[in-house]
Every structure is written in C-alpha cells, then in structure tokens.
Chains A and B, each alone.
Chain A
Amino acid sequence: GNSVTQMEGPVTLSEEAFLTINCTYTATGYPSLFWYVQYPGEGLQLLLKATKADDKGSNKGFEATYRKETTSFHLEKGSVQVSDSAVYFCALSGGNQGGKLIFGQGTELSVKP
C-alpha cells in the first residue's frame, strides 16, 4: 500500500542555517504530495504541495520538488528562522485512496537563535 517515510527528528539548527528534511514515498499511480506544518498545540497547516512529477511547491521560503525517479519530496529552506520551529509532516494523497492523506511520522525542527 501507499506509505511515506520521513527522516527522524528532532532536527536542531542555528538561525540562518540551511534546512533539508528528507521524504520518500511508495505509491501506486500518480499521487499528489504535500508538506504540512504543525506549530505547538495547533492543528496542521498546508505548507506546500505538488501534484505531478517535476512540480516544485514553494511557500514562505520553503521548497520541495516532486521527484518521481527517486520517489522523493524533500523539504528545503535556505535560511531558517526561530519561528520555523515546528513539526513538519510529509504526506501523499493517491487517486485510488478516496482523497485520504497518508502521513509520514513527522520531523520536529528546533531552530536556536
């Protein structure tokens, strides 16, 4: 079945450091891919998405490219801020899943001043 695997956290970075959070997936067909962010005590917010191969999603300085050949959707940001501290979830939605989202286990990011 469909699945998502993320790099384990927590990830601790200094402010202005470069961020990469790896995400790989297994899916049949052509899924859509998402990154969600969850701030402490809150629900999930969509950060960015890509719906087909080679698409690049971007938002708030974060980027991720849908790589079908490597089944990956790694999240990157060139210069993180303390306010980026949160848990990041990679997810996929496949056409044969009735719109269900399959989430990775989440990666906690902590950015220190």
Chain B
Amino acid sequence: GAVVSQHPSWVICKSGTSVKIECRSLDFQATTMFWYRQFPKQSLMLMATSNEGSKATYEQGVEKDKFLINHASLTLSTLTVTSAHPEDSSFYICSARGGWTSSGVSYNEQFFGPGTRLTVL
C-alpha cells in the first residue's frame, strides 16, 4: 500500500514551453501533497505544500506564477512549470501524506513518488 506515482518520469522540452507533471496517490487519499526540487548531488528543496481543494502554500523564494500547483482531488496533484527555461531543468519529486486507505489504515508519513526529470533545451 501507499504507492505514489508520477508522470512523466522524464520530459525534454524547448525553452518557453510549459510542462505539466502529475502526482497520484494510487491506493490512498492524500489530504496533503508536497512538491520538491532536487539538483544533482544535492538535497531536496521543498517548493510548496498542497492541500486538496485549497491554494498551495509556496516556500520562500519559489515563484508561484512560475510553478503552478493544482490539487483538484484527493489522489491527484499537478505541477506546471510555465515558460520553462534551462535553469528550470531539475529532478522534481512529489510526496503524499494523510488520509485513509480502503482497508481503513491511516497514513501520517509522507510517501514519495519516483520523480520526474525535466530537461529544458
């Protein structure tokens, strides 16, 4: 249980285009999802916290108009990188937390997706 998927696993796009990354909790309802960015050989940097049905809370220094987050349902959050540029190239990882599985198990820890590698040319 507690599986989180991301799609796509990798994407290459041209500078100036927008890219959407999906994060899904497959077997539980995630009340909260987190989006992280990871540079090569570095730690994860939290970008934003997303609660279902409300606006995302962005960390200091993260441009909310650049990185659009939507958490429309308890199993899906999306991150859209708008007008992408080469400096946006990175590994983006989501995690999901909270809620109940169909078997009635509560999860309070974060479960991570496999990540999406974005390369902007």
Chain A interface residues (CB < 8 Å from chain B): 34, 36, 41-46, 49, 89, 93, 98-101, 103-106, 108
19 A-B pairs in the complex with CB atoms less than 8 angstroms apart: A41-B115, A43-B93, A43-B112, A43-B115, A44-B44, A44-B112, A46-B109, A46-B111, A89-B43, A89-B44, A98-B49, A99-B32, A99-B108, A100-B46, A101-B46, A103-B43, A103-B44, A105-B43, A106-B43
Residue B99 interfacial (CB < 8 Å): no
Task: With CB as the reference atom, state the residue of chain B lying closest to A44.
Answer: B112
Name the CB-closest residue of A to B31.
A99
| Chain A residue contacts of B46, Cβ below 8 A | 100-101
Give chain A residues whose Cβ lies under 8 Å from the Cβ of B109: 34, 46, 49
Within 8 A of A (CB), among B70-121: 93, 95, 97-98, 108-115, 117
Number of interface residues of B (CB under 8 A): 22
Quick check: A43 and B114 within 8 Å, CB to CB? yes
In the assembly, what is the distance between CA of A98 and CA of B108, in Å? 11
Instruction: Note all chain B residues with C-beta closer than 8 A to A89.
Output: 43-44
Complexed CA–CA distance, A36 and B43 (Å): 11
Which of chain A's residues has its CB closest to B116's CB? A43
Within the assembled complex, what's the spacing in Å between the Cα atoms of A108 and B43? Answer: 11
